[in-house]
Amino acid sequence: MHIGLIDVDGHNFPNLALMKLSAWHKAQGDEVEWYEPLMPEYDKVYMSKVFTFTEDYQWAINARQIVKGGTGYGLYENLPAEIEYTFPDYSLYPQYSFAVGFLTRGCIRKCPWCIVPKKEGWIHSVNTWDKIKRPDSRDIVFLDNNVLASEHGIAQIEDMIGKDVRIDFNQAMDARLVTPEIAKILSKEKWIDGTLRFACDTYAMIPILKRCVSYLEENGVKPYRIFVYTLIQDVEESIARIMAMDEIGVQPFGQPYRDFTNNIEPTEDQKRLARWCNNKAVHRSTRFEDYSNENRKAYKRRGDAE
């Protein structure tokens, strides 16, 4: 069979589902490549779209069968088990040298803005770090949504201490679950870029984040190494939260709220606050009230990255 793949979001991060599909089809003897519109008709084309806000593929597809998948299409089905447990074909993304995978899926919480509980259900174990690691790289980016809610997840993190691996949990860890013991485990890990990621999506999380940061600091992890995803819904409340995080000394990263269910885009104010928050130079030197679109253009002219 001749198989075509389309990473609809662009190639900004290795698409795990497409890499597994590629590996599985190659193991069946099929020919697999990125979809090329000028090629003769494909037997099957897989289109994967992770994000709802990226544009869909705009052109006609020349294939006998087209299979779409991913949260970006509102499709939450898992891959068939034999494909899900296939080691990914990293040759699709030679520009990335790290492994990606999940130790756990699902979550114990039901935050109203989040699709994870609907998509993945209750927290459950799915893999071990040594099966995810690439033989040619020591870096693993885990995509777990709440790894600290799982005993298996914590045991896996503990098992990586002292091994030749550097890790990242790029969907963030849950600060509510960081105890002095967990902080000690996390502090012994080698982190990619030295960064540990958490989330702080409501003001009620501020004292909890503060406690988590103090436990980590007691174990030698400086607050500036802590990157905090910051949901931006109510702009006034989000400004207060960002300022509280500045005082704690962590790095807030603003994410304007997108209503996935009703496909509603963030407002201009939410996007402007995220831009202000995420540009450290601007954020440290200018109050948000003074950060107008005019100022933004001036910062751009001066060459400040946004």
Q: Which residues of this protein are in contact with ligand SF4, per CB under 6 A?
A: 107, 109-111, 114, 116-117, 145-146, 174
Nearest Cα to 273, choosing from 293, 246, 298, 248?
293
- Which residue's CB is nearer to ligand SF4, number 11 or number 118? 118
Nearest Cα to 11, choosing from 54, 45, 43?
54
**Per-residue tokens: 55:** 């544009």
- Which residue's CB is nearer to ligand SF4, number 99 or number 175? 175
Strand order in the sheet with 139-142: 99-101, 139-142, 166-169
**Per-residue tokens: 202:** 């409501």
Q: CA-CA distance, 110 to 129, in Å (whole number)? A: 26
- Which residue's CB is nearer to ligand SF4, number 190 or number 211? 211
Q: With beta carbons less than 8 A apart as the criterion, state whether 264 and 233 touch.
A: no
- Which residue's CB is nearer to ligand SF4, number 107 or number 209? 107
The dihedral of CA 113, 115, 120, 121: what is its sign? positive
- CB 142, min distance to ligand SF4, A: 13
1's CB contacts (< 8 A; 6+ apart) are: 25, 28, 30, 31, 43, 44
- Which residue's CB is nearer to ligand SF4, number 63 or number 107? 107
- CB 88, min distance to ligand SF4, A: 22
- CB 115, min distance to ligand SF4, A: 8
- Which residue's CB is nearer to ligand SF4, number 46 or number 198? 198
